[in-house]
Structure 1
Amino acid sequence: MAHFLLQGSYSPEAWKALVNKPENRIEVVRPVIESLGGKVESGYFCFGEYDVFLVVELPDNVSAAAFSVAIAAGGAFKTQKTTILITSEEAVDAMKKGAGLSGYRAPGK
């Protein structure tokens, strides 16, 4: 299973709705993630560029894209971002594999 970081910034209309009727949106989306065969590993509301983020485990990129499309279609976010996450072990494997690649050269070299 793949891991993803999902980040979103609510629209002013969504914030108005949440102020009028507060709810834990992370718990609202949990069953949606589970319906895709995934699980929410962690989720937080935050201050800054994004208002909420989730770390989720999903079967594949298509499932992550499906969730992202559904969220975008809902209209509550003014901005959203999905980032594929890899483990430290996978990063080391990628570094080793990258070291063995031939034919690539940096621009201007």
Structure 2
Amino acid sequence: MPKYLIQSSYTAEGAKGLMAEGGTGRKEAVERTLRSCGGSLEWMYYAIGTDDLYVVADMPDEISLVATSMAARASGAVTSRAVPLLSPEDMDAAVRKTVDFRAPGA
């Protein structure tokens, strides 16, 4: 199942919700949201810095990822971006592919 790193930041409204529910309450909400589209939570950590939250999630496909992302963003409580993650075996498969590429000017 494809794996994604999701980096999120709370808006002021989202921070108020986090303060009301606490970290474990939001973790349960994230797990429920991912499960609703066939996904699962691998891990979730809060952070201090540019992003407030880091999640690694398994999702069945990009459509499911986009559906959960759009629902969260539409709430106005969070902004996010997702990075597809590749395993070492995925990278092995990628480097074995033959690519017909010519550098500019070569």
Same-fold call, TM > 0.5?
yes
The superposition leaves residues 45-102 of structure 1 with CA deviations (integer Å, 9 ceiling, x where unpaired) of 011111001101111010001011111101111x3101111111101110111xx222
Aligned partner letter, 2:45: Y
1:105 matches 2:92: no
Q: 2:11 is matched with which residue?
A: 11
Q: 1:23 is matched with which residue?
A: 22
Aligned partner letter, 1:107: P
- TM-score, normalization: structure 2? 0.89
Note the 1:49-68 alignment, pairs <5 A. Answer: 49-68=50-69
Identical aligned residues as a percent = 36
Runs of 5+ unmatched residues, structure 1 = none
1:2 matches 2:2: yes
After TM superposition, which residue ranges in structure 1, 4 or more long, deviate above 4 angstroms? none
The superposition leaves residues 14-64 of structure 1 with CA deviations (integer Å, 9 ceiling, x where unpaired) of 223333x14221221101111111110000001111100110111101000
Runs of 5+ unmatched residues, structure 2 = none
Q: 1:81 is matched with which residue?
A: 81
Aligned partner letter, 1:23: G
RMSD of aligned alpha carbons: 1.3
Residue pair 2:13, 2:76 contacting (<8 A) in 1 also? no
Separation (CA, whole Å) in 1 of partners of 2:50 and 2:2: 25
Deviation at residue 13 of structure 1 after TM alignment: 2.4
Q: 1:93 is matched with which residue?
A: 93
